[in-house]
Amino acid sequence: MSLACDQLLDKIHSKRACVGVVGLGYVGLPLLVEFARAGFDATGIDVDPRKVDAINAGTSYIPDVKPADVESLVAAGRLRATTDFRAVASLDTVNICVPTPLRKTKDPDMSFIAAAVEGIARHLRPGTLVVLESTTYPGTTEEFVKPRLEARGLMASVDFFLAFSPERVDPGNPTFNTRNVPKVVGGVDPESTALAGALYASAIERIVPVSSPHVAEMVKLLENTFRAVNIGLANEIALMCDRMGVDVWEVVQAAATKPFGFMPFYPGPGLGGHCIPIDPFYLSWKAKQSGFESRFIELAGHINGSMPHFVVSKIADALNVQQKSINGSTVLVLGVAYKRDINDIRESPSLDVMTLLMQKGAEVHYADPYVPTLSSTDWHGGQDLKEPLKSEPLTAATIAKADCVVILTDHRIVDYAMVQHAAKAIVDTRNAISRPNPNVFRIGAPTAAGMRVPLRTPDDREAKVVA
């Protein structure tokens, strides 16, 4: 090993290395906290002063990071945050954890990575390890990041070290977190791989070294493409079962009893979150550059992307039984987060369903205890709201006012028995109300009692069945 590698490796092992993380969101802040908890002097860098101020004040805006942990680490002098990239000059390692969205044309938006890398390059000093964690296409580390870091004269594998290690965060998962999820690491050279592995090993239980950044980049895309394709299959089976009058939820539950050769995936209103709806298109885009057509990915994307439209058609069916149209009806959306028990609305299919309903003339409200307000800035590509929407209270009276309630996120805090009793009609996309009920329309399942829906009012607790 080179002298520079030996020196940095010694700093990492002795916890004398000053570590930094650029991008303090769902990936970056938990990682920064784990480094600080492991005994490193940890500095976070983010362009959002609100995040920086919150961390320096000893609090957390990420549900998976306890405010008490941030407070104690800040008080101990091991954790701090700044908006100033000049902090890079005092760091021994820098992890990049910034967003990687798609453009409207479904090609990668590399602007966040470019801004982060250029900010680092201005203050990069010899002997520093830089690790990219942002999910992106194979080749990004060596073809996009490396030349930008080298633009000011320092050379990778000579003056600084460079690696890729894909983030594997699952927000809200009570079992798997930053510390106990294995970390894949691939450097541009063996020294970079060894240094990145040593850095992560100080805070994470298991390290999985691979031969190159290309392999590490492909690992992440395979993981999420696997999920996207299988969810697409589950959604197609749900569409099929819906047409055939078969309960897809019962089918999947029974199939899941097979102890080998089957892994259950479940249908829903569409894909949400920062990874699964986006990562397969990074892979598809890169494949097209090599002249390869990724047909599974494209088909799964088509099916998953069509689910919000199918949900709206189900809402139309539920309203039609009441002799109402979507236009002019009041629809209450239960859940706008992309999955249960978190506050993350990135790429949430709930927003797509709400947009379609508004375009068809519905009066749309929502109730989500994890998302108190919803503004135009949160609603990427959605409605231009004059006033932010506010979450409705989850009461029987609120439920009963709606012509149709649609369950798009099955938060466990919701009393679904109350919802089922109070609602005129329910479209359930998550099997939150698993037993057949006359006023419940589940995707991929027949409706009970021949589409007979009990109409309720806030003052009338007895069902008035309309044939």
Domain segments of the chain as ranges: 3-211, 221-296, 308-466
Which of 46, 116, 113, 112 minimizes the C-alpha distance to 84? 46
pLDDT for 129: 98
Task: Give φ, ψ of 265 to 5 degrees.
Answer: -125, 150
- Asked if residues 437 and 448 have their Cβ atoms less than 8 Å apart, the reply is yes
Q: Which residue has the tokens 């939820």?
A: 249
Q: Could you give the CA distance from residue 63 to residue 26 in angstroms, rounded to a whole number?
A: 9
- Asked if residues 25 and 1 have their Cβ atoms less than 8 Å apart, the reply is no
pLDDT for 461: 34
pLDDT for 216: 97
- Alpha carbon 283 to chain centroid, angstroms: 17
pLDDT for 458: 36
Q: Could you give the CA distance from residue 419 to residue 437 in angstroms, rounded to a whole number?
A: 12
User: 10-residue block means of pLDDT along the chain (467 residues)?
Assistant: 94 98 96 98 98 97 94 97 98 96 79 97 98 94 97 96 95 91 98 98 97 96 92 96 94 97 96 78 83 88 94 96 95 96 91 94 96 81 74 96 97 96 96 89 80 40 34
Superfamily of 308-466 according to CATH: NAD(P)-binding Rossmann-like Domain (3.40.50.720)
pLDDT for 376: 76
Per CATH, 3-211 and 221-296 having the same topology is answered: no
Q: Which CATH number fits domain 221-296: 1.10.1040, 1.10.287, 3.30.310, 1.25.40?
A: 1.10.1040
Question: Hey, what CATH topology would domain 3-211 get?
Answer: Rossmann fold (3.40.50)
Q: pTM for the complete prediction?
A: 0.88
Among the options 5, 97, 241, 275, which is catalytic?
A: 275
**Is residue 275 annotated as a catalytic residue, yes or no?**
yes
